[in-house]
Amino acid sequence: MSSRADGDVLDAMVAQAQGGSRAAIRDLILQAQGELRNFVAARAPSLDLVDEIVQAALVVVIEKIGTYERRGTFMPWLKGIALDLLRTEVPRLHRQVDLHPDRLDAAVLAHADARLEEPEDEPWIGHLRDCLAPSPAATG
């Protein structure tokens, strides 16, 4: 399906949600949450923050669905909400916890290991390890 068609499908769900349909809100969230999670994960410094931002963004959508103007731009609107939340939350985290970039990669891997008993449960964890591992030339 093209992104315009996706936007039209989401806008149809939004119209129903704005009309008071709880089922449409549920369907809208289910339809959008995967793409939103990927978008936030690419920008957040920790997996915990991804969950927090996605949940907060979806709550904002539920609260402000009436203000959205249907024009095939629901996902950009939702991603904008998530970016605003990230811009607020990341500086707050930096003030609370010492998140140095040189320790961030290890923290993300440690968190992922704690969440997964066996890395094979999630193929991306192995790819993440490969990307973050020092290259043989760098260690030699």
Q: Do 15 and 71 contact (CB within 8 A), yes or no?
A: no
pLDDT tens profile 47-106: 888 999 999 999 999 999 999 987 878 999 999 999 999 888 776 655 444 545 555 555
Other beta carbons within 10 Å of 116: 12
Fold of 1-97: Rna Polymerase Sigma Factor; Chain: A (1.10.1740)
Where in the chain are all domains bearing CATH 1.10.1740.10? 1-97
Helix (H, G, I), strand (E, B) or coil at 133: coil
Does the predicted model carry a pTM greater than 0.85?
no
The pLDDT value recorded for residue 128 is 57
Q: Do 132 and 109 contact (CB within 8 A), yes or no?
A: yes
